[in-house]
Structure 1
Amino acid sequence: MFSRIGRAVSHQPASFVIGWVLLVAVAVSLVFQGWGAGGLFQRLASGDATTPDTESSVVADLTRSDEDAGEVISIVVDGVDVVGDPAGAGLAATSARGSLGELEGVASVTDAFALPDPTSQEARALLSTGGDGYVVIVTLDADLSEQEVASVSERVAETAEGAYVDSLHTYEPRAEAYAVSSELIGDSIGELVQRDLAQGESVSLPVALILLVIIFGGLLAAGLPLVNALASIVIGMAALWGLTFVLEVQSFILNVISILGLALSIDYGLLFVSRYREEVAAQLARAGYGAAMRAEELPVGEEMNRLVRVSVQRTVATAGRTVSFSALTIACSIAGLLVMSSPMLKTIATGAIAVALVAVLCTITLVPAVITLLGGRLVRPSVLSRVPGVGRVLRAIGDASSEHGVFSRLSNRVVAHPWIVMGAIAAVLAVMVAPIGSARMRTNIIEYVPQDAPVRTGYDVIQDDYPALATPTISVVAQAGADDANGLVSDIQALDDVARVTAEELSGQEGMTLISVLMDVEDPVGPQASDAVETIRGMEPGYEYWVGGAAAQQEDFIDSMAERAPWAALIVITAVFLLLFCMTGSLVVPLKALLINSVSLIASLGVTSWLFEHGRLGLPQTPGLQTFVVACLMAFGFGLAMDYEVFLLARINEYWEAGHDNDDAVARGLQRSGRIITSAAVIIIAVFLGFVSGEMISIKELGVGLAVMVAVDATLVRLLLVPATMTVLGRWNWWAPRPLAHLYQRFRQQV
């Protein structure tokens, strides 16, 4: 199959390139314009992602704002003395109020000084408990469309932080104003996603290009993996655009998919181009050119074109098969997320699988087509290699076609002392696993908003100084009237750390009561809040009730992941066994890969949680990793580990099936693939750390976690532990029952 693909691409390269160019053009149009349906960035969501069929999702549905009511924006005014000089504050607020009320799309503007009785409970709720500010409630027209709500909300925020606060400065020069609403919080997250995406790629792509130039010794060869990456990311973004019509796609998922697409595309492009250069060297040797390094000593014209076509066909047949198995293995690893209850994880999985498959399709069609069109330009030595001293450096650290070198020598040393190597690596991994015992997972959407964003500042002020307006730590919906719910209210009020409990009839739901619980805790999704959720859920008031809020959503998310984890593991284990058997014909290799990669993954997760828990290496200190980040690290990390496993095993298996003994096959396979694995790991780590330069904490956690996983896998595991275990197992590495061995041979002939 891959031989046929190679022949088709090498004989019709222009057709394949034109096809990909058209596909990318369509994808760009969909992503940025949307053909009348809105571009990708306009269609992304930025709110709480509840888990279906859970108590917290029931509460979220029942308490969702009335669609017939207008959007409400809270303007938080800080730095105004409303206790020492209430009359002056009232005059200032009254004079400034008009700048908001005259805006088109605004239905009403209310503050404590506009109410008939400034001493009423409603008025006091709008005054800061610290006496240094007040809140203005701005209600928008109810008949506005989503686009109009976004536009009017932006104008209200600009006016509040501009004309409104300027008017207040005539009374109090230190006054500040911050606009807060669910729409503005979502907009802030969306803007941060775009900034972080641009920041991450502006750092990652140049660094990746420099490293690729060093590895390949020239710009043309170095540019091919990046062309692959850009095409894959754009088409993957178009796939996400399509998903927005059937699923709610959270904005930060775009960064997650971009990170994975960039990593896989560079990995596959690097392997493919390196194998192509190896095939070119072999073809030159067969043609009698030896190790020709000067352009005038190389073939020209049709002879060069024929050499390129043959090399491309051989590369697609070998490296194409390897990257295809790798992509399928990664896709199956990520597919475990599809069985999770959370729509967010399903969306991440769908987008990630799409970008993985697009990356491999680009690698086996677009990249070889471009190589064929370039002809002898990639065969001739680059200009950089002619610079005095540079050529020697490039040969030392660039790709190589020799079967003997630093990695084969490393393998020989490992082969000589396998038990010592296995013991040492096991000890290191055990130390890395230790922090996992104290690791915590958390889910809090407000943490995605930058600390210095005006909407975040306003939100924090409301939570601290306006208890009646603050977002409840826990929300309880009881299937009972307000009087009947008094017993439950009293029981909740008696819990530790509970500062305020209010009960009111749930609007639009006859016979239901909404109980809002505000806790005096620093972390609204921390241990105290989570314990309170569990305690409330264990109460027995004699009627049905549901517990929601941020902490409840977090617990439901974690519980749903734990419930579906065995099914996800079954999918991954079955798929990995099947794919690695189809690649190697062994049942031992897949089992060993699953065990080693699982331990490596847990160890890397332990290091990542330790880094963030203690704020090491300049990273922000957090009380736990975001729950969805842990799920992505497990899926993506396992997939990338299998990626390098496939790279290494493919070469070792080639030598084994060519008749070499086990130890020699391991040494030669490591020499051929070790340089590629190490080079790819260095580039991918740089890419992941490039995204850490952004502000969004979840992307920082994902970038650092994946960087740690790749570093551990490409060094301790792939270069040391795998060769050591394969040495100890010897011929048993390749064992399979006779019927399965015959089945593998038939499959191998077909592929």
Structure 2
Amino acid sequence: MDTGVRARDTRKPADEAAGRGRAGAWLARSRWRMLLAGALLTVLAVPVALGAESRMTSSQFVAHTEAATVDRMLDEEFRAGDPHMVVLARAAGGVDAAGTRTAVRSLTTALRHRPGVTQVRSYWDSGHPRGLRSKDGRTGLLLVRLRGGDEDRAARAGEILSLVSDARWGPLRLSVTGEAAVQAALKEQMQHDLVRAELIALPGALVLLILAFGSVVAALLPLGVGVLTILGALSALSGLAAVVDVSVFSLNLVTAVGLGLAIDYSLFITTRFREQLAHGDSVPTAVATAVATAGRTVWFSALTVAFAFAAPLVFPSMRSLAYAGILVTLLAAVVATTVLPAVLALLGSRVTRLDPLRRWHRTRPLTAHEGGFWYRLARAVMRKPVPVALAVVALLTLLAAPFLHARFGLDDDRALPAGHAVHAAGERQRTEFAAAGSAPVTVVLKGFDPSASAPRKALADYARRVSALPTVRSVTTVGGAYAHGRLVDPAGRGADAPYRARAGTWLEVATTAGPYTRPGTRLVQRLRALPAPVAPLVGGAAAELVDTEDELLARMPWALAVIGVTTFALLFLFTGGLLIPIKAIVLNLLSLTATFGSLVYVFQEGHLRWLVGDFNPSGYIDVGMPILIFFVAFGLSMDYEVFLLSRIAEEYAVTGDNGLAVARGLQRTGRLITAAAALFAAVLIALATSGVSSLKTLGVGLALAVVLDATLVRALLVPALMRLLGRANWWSPAPLRRFAGRLSHGDRTHDAGGLSGGEADPRRH
């Protein structure tokens, strides 16, 4: 065990902290006013929060890409492009039977007269399969385009789903899939799953809280803080949605993160309050001490988590999720440090009442130094730090290995449960039609007019070169259809698909490659690099994936810089050491990479499906999900890091003994961190019950990240590395040390949630 200059192991009385805890003292005195204000704000927030979902977009990530521009141009300028809905019409007598044609004409007329429908094309219109006739000849496709943005299309898709479910279409058996139908189904499924997750998470969290607190009264407090936090965040998002696009996915993020952080912050503040009561403090003094110490650490933690959520602001497609994360984090801290102390002041010692398990609870002070499980574990780890560190790093590296062959895509109907009608229709389209698994790529030549002779020849030459590219089946233009470098149909499809308008012209590129495969994305890259009469704009599902990946990769260094610099600065100001923030960031990156590898193993490759709830492996991970999980999990990990470091730094400031400080710090926080992590994981696992695979991935990924952080990292790696680094943990240049000292030791009293010292800092001796 390495030792430094040892200061006397004494502490200032808690009353001294209470004397300086002016905010907590005021809350204790003004408890009724604070509770009345909280109740009034809650009543006002409820109707606004309940209407938040209706103002949000059904897309998970709001796109601002070249592919999105192409889709808008095709819709607004050409009244053409990929269908927003695909209706599968199946008839036992075959697609060419007279009764089938009559029924299809009636259905087509009904669809064309629906509000918002701009185009309906089908196998029966052209009289030629063109990929719109199934292999067995019993199913034909109707391709429907809708007017408006994503939300308008999803709403109209819901109306059309009701239309095609009508039994009046004679011999036809109809089913629907396509982008708009998927968005409508995802939104409905997410709403249903969110309610179910809450019904599962809240009772489960209550049971765990009773076990952690040993009191029903105390256990209800974090749930109350969570409800207030979620209502406030949803109300704020509802107002924000009137100004900017906000993804409906934010609802799930607010619920999971809001409840989890509320439980974390309430757990630490309430535990500190109960400790002070056990030490003989009066109720006002205990409230003031809890707010001045644990409350201070809560705010350091909240700022760290909020800055982690701020990093995604650099990604235009993820800004609404960043807004949601920042809002819910700061609101959790506000409620936990204002309303909760007022309730504690009102309850006083009654906070320990109603312990259904008191017969099994043993009285053991939470602040015990030596002899506790976590103290013994830390000492055991620090006796052999190198083998422990190597073993844990090897295990995390093994878990991370599958991430090396991760594949990415975007949510389609396969994100829905297998039994969902929209998903089933998508599967039928992929298996029964010749173009299964592929999606056309669209190329817009903006401002190009092919009506004159020279431009027409230039367009023909370009179409020939495009049709000769690998994986291209055919290219259709205003001047005809091309395949394998030659003209195969001079008529093209100009009669039923306008390839020319005032804005220019466009080409439809049929391909054998799936949109979320490497050949599909390579085709997009080749099209953008191929010389064209004017600069081409490439769209379609594959182009959307390429654009999203490019945006994420291009902006990721900036996001990492934001999260790295802010985390380093906050942890340095909190501890005064330069190596501690670096170690924390490196360990977080290691554990998160292990989480990503596990997600690839389960959700991309389909292993252990029985363990996480059945889902439909698509062979890829949603491209935005690792980014979202990274920033959320990074912030949550730093939440626990702040609480652990606060206690370790406190002990080191008092004793000057690095090893003893680590052991005592882990003993003081290990139980609380474990309880908080278990509660958070339980809340997140509730999302894993969702039928939407992206929600399931989010829930499992965040729960796994929290568990890995609270066990392997916080309990094993941190003690091992801090033992190896010794007093170097706390080193910093003198000017920085003085600056950090004024901020991190301004309140000269320590507790499980605060960092300050009753004795002179031994680092200055």
TM-score range, shorter chain: 0.7 to 0.9
2:277 corresponds to 1:265: no
Which residue is 2:703 aligned to?
707
| 1:13 is aligned to 2:5 | no
Contact kept? 1:209, 1:223, Cα under 8 Å: yes
The aligned amino acid for 2:332 is A
Amino acid at match of 1:55: E
- Cα drift, residue 605 of structure 1: 1.6
Corresponding residue for residue 40 of structure 1? 52
Q: Partner of 1:517: helix, strand, or coil? A: strand
Q: Deviations over 1:563-598 (max 9, x none)?
A: 112211221121112111221122221122122222
Which position in structure 2 is the counterpart of 1:484? 458
Contact map agreement 2:684 2:700 (CA 8 A) in 1: yes
Q: Which amino acid aligns with 2:374?
A: F
Alpha-carbon deviation of 1:92?
4.5
Amino acid across the alignment from 2:475: V
Task: Indicate if the aligned counterparts of 1:497 and 1:520 stay in contact, CA closer than 8 A.
Answer: yes
Asked if 1 retains the 8 angstrom alpha-carbon contact of 2:284 and 2:345, the reply is: yes
Other-structure match for 2:42: 24
- Give unmatched runs, 5+ long, in structure 2: 1-16, 451-455, 479-493, 748-765
1:584 and 2:602 aligned: no
Q: 1:283 aligns with which of 280, 297, 318?
A: 280
Show the 5 A alignment for 1:32-71: 32=50, 39-47=51-59, 49=61, 51-52=63-64, 54-65=65-76
Which letter does structure 2 place at the counterpart of 1:563? A
- Of 319, 326, 333 in structure 2, the residue corresponding to residue 346 of structure 1 is 319
User: 1:132 aligns to what?
Assistant: 138
Q: Quick one: structure 1 residues 22 and 120, their matched pair in 2 at CA, closer, same or farther if it must change by over 3 Å?
A: same
Amino acid at match of 2:201: S
Give the one of 511, 515, 532 matched to 2:507.
515
- Quick one: distance in 2 between partners of 1:153 and 1:429? 45
Range moving further from structure 2, 594-603 or 348-357: 594-603
Give CA deviations for 1:462-504 in whole Å, capped at 9, x if unaligned. 5666789998432111244365322332233233333343224
Q: Distance in 2 between matches of 1:96 and 1:441?
A: 37
Question: In the alignment, what sits opposite 1:495?
Answer: 469
Which residue does 1:320 correspond to in 2? 295
1:158 pairs with 2:170: no
Match of 2:491 in 1: none
The 1:72/1:647 distance shift into structure 2, 3 A limit, reads: closer
For residues 443 and 111 of structure 1, do their structure 2 counterparts lie closer, same or farther at Cα, with a shift above 3 Å needed? closer
CA deviations over 1:83-129 (Å, ceiling 9, x no partner): 5x62232345467778778989989988776x6xxx745x9786556
* CA distance 1:102–1:502, shift in 2 (3 Å): closer
Q: Is the 8 A contact 2:403 2:600 kept in 1?
A: yes
Query: 3-state SS of the aligned residue for 1:162?
Result: coil
**1:719 corresponds to which letter in structure 2?**
A
Preserved contact between residue 662 and residue 719 of structure 2 (Cα < 8 Å)? yes
Deviation (angstroms), 1:382: 3.3
Percent of pairs identical after alignment?
32
Tell me which residue corresponds to 2:482: none
Q: Distance in 1 between matches of 2:393 and 2:151?
A: 56
Go from structure 1 to structure 2 and tell me whether the alpha carbon gap of 1:15 and 1:547 turns closer, same or farther (over 3 Å shift).
Answer: same
Structure-1 separation of matches of 2:413 and 2:123? 27
Distance 1:727 1:58 in 2: 55
1:722 matches 2:694:
no
Counterpart for residue 606 of structure 1:
597
- 1:734 paired to 2:730: yes
Classify 1:447/1:26 alpha carbon distance in 2 versus 1 (closer, same or farther; 3 Å): farther
Instruction: Report the CA distance shift for 1:617/1:274 in structure 2 as closer, same or farther (over 3 A).
Output: farther
Matched-pair contact (CA < 8 Å) for 2:388–2:716: yes
1:526-545 matches, cutoff 5 A: 526-545=517-536
SS in 2 for 1:58: helix
- Separation in structure 2 between the aligned mates of residue 742 and residue 495 of structure 1, nearest angstrom: 65
State the number of aligned residues. 697
Rate the CA distance shift 1:155–1:630 in 2: closer, same or farther, 3 A: closer
> Which residue number in structure 2 is paired with residue 190 of structure 1?
187
Q: Deviations over 1:356-381 (max 9, x none)?
A: 000111111111111111122114x5
- Equivalent residues of 1:209, 1:222 under 8 A apart: yes
Displacement of 1:429 in angstroms is: 2.2
Match of 1:78?
A: 90
Per-residue CA distance 1:22-68 (angstroms, 9 max, x = gap): 22222221122xxxxxx22222212485643x432332232234699
TM-score, length of structure 2 as denominator length: 0.83
1:577–1:590 Cα contact (<8 Å) kept: yes
CA 158–540 in structure 1, closer or farther in 2 if over 3 Å, else same? same
One-letter amino acid of the counterpart of residue 519, structure 1 = T
Question: How far 1:602 moved relative to its partner?
Answer: 1.6
Q: Is residue 253–residue 348 contact of structure 1 (8 Å, CA) maintained in 2?
A: yes
Instruction: Report the more deviating stretch, 609-618 or 88-97.
Output: 88-97
Q: Name the amino acid aligned to 1:283.
A: G
- Name the CA shift for 1:223/1:500 in 2 (closer, same or farther; >3 Å): farther
Q: Distance in 2 between matches of 1:126 and 1:615?
A: 31
Contact 1:48–1:445, Cα closer than 8 Å, also in 2: no
CA change 1:677–1:524 in 2 (3 A) is same
**Alpha-carbon distance in 1 for matches of 2:396, 2:152:** 55
Does the 8 A contact of 2:55 with 2:238 survive in 1?
Answer: yes
Distance 2:689 2:458 in 1: 53
Structure 1 SS opposite 2:506: strand
Q: In structure 1, which of residues 430, 452, 466 is the aligned counterpart of residue 419 of structure 2?
A: 452
| Cα offset, 1:733, TM superposition | 1.5
Return the match for 1:695 from 682, 687, 691.
Answer: 691
> What does residue range 373-522 of structure 1 map to in structure 2 within 5 Å?
373-379=346-352, 382-386=354-358, 388=359, 390-392=360-362, 400-404=366-370, 405-461=372-428, 472-479=439-446, 480=448, 481=450, 483-504=457-478, 509-510=501-502, 512-521=504-513
Letter in structure 2 aligned against 1:494: A
RMSD: 3.3
* Cα deviation, residue 246, structure 1: 2.6
Selected match of 1:570 from 561, 568, 576: 561
SS in 1 for 2:244: coil
Match of 1:556 among 524, 529, 547: 547
Residue type at the aligned position of 1:571? V
The structure with more helix, counted as a fraction of residues: 1
| Corresponding residue of 1:302 | none
Alpha carbons of 1:483 and 1:560: their partners in 2 closer, same or farther (altered >3 Å)? Answer: same
- Aligned residue runs from structure 1 range 115-130, under 5 A: 120=127, 128=134, 130=136
| Residue 550 to residue 112, structure 1, CA distance change in 2 (3 Å) | closer
Whole-angstrom distance in 1 between the partners of 2:723 and 2:233: 41
1:337 aligns with 2:315: no
- The answer (yes or no) to whether the contact 1:474–1:517 under 8 Å persists in 2 is yes
Q: Distance in 1 between matches of 2:53 and 2:709?
A: 35
Give, in whole Å, the separation in 2 of the partners of 1:419 and 1:109: 68
Q: Given that residues 27 and 234 in structure 1 are in contact (C-alpha distance below 8 angstroms), is that contact kept between their aligned partners in structure 2?
A: yes
* Alignment partners' CA distance in 1, 2:623 and 2:632: 14
Q: Retained in 2: the 8 A contact 1:467–1:518?
A: no
Question: Structure 1 length as normaliser, TM-score?
Answer: 0.85
For structure 1, the residue ranges without an aligned partner over 5 or more in a row are 33-38, 285-306
Alpha-carbon distance in structure 2 between the residues aligned to 1:101 and 1:322: 61
1:335/1:353 contact within 8 Å kept: yes
1:318-353 per-position Cα deviation (integer Å, ceiling 9, x unaligned):
11111111110111122111112xx33111111101
> By how many angstroms is 1:194 displaced?
0.2
Determine helix, strand or coil for the equivalent of 1:178.
Answer: strand
- Written as runs of structure 1 = structure 2, the 5 A alignment for 1:233-272 is 233-272=230-269
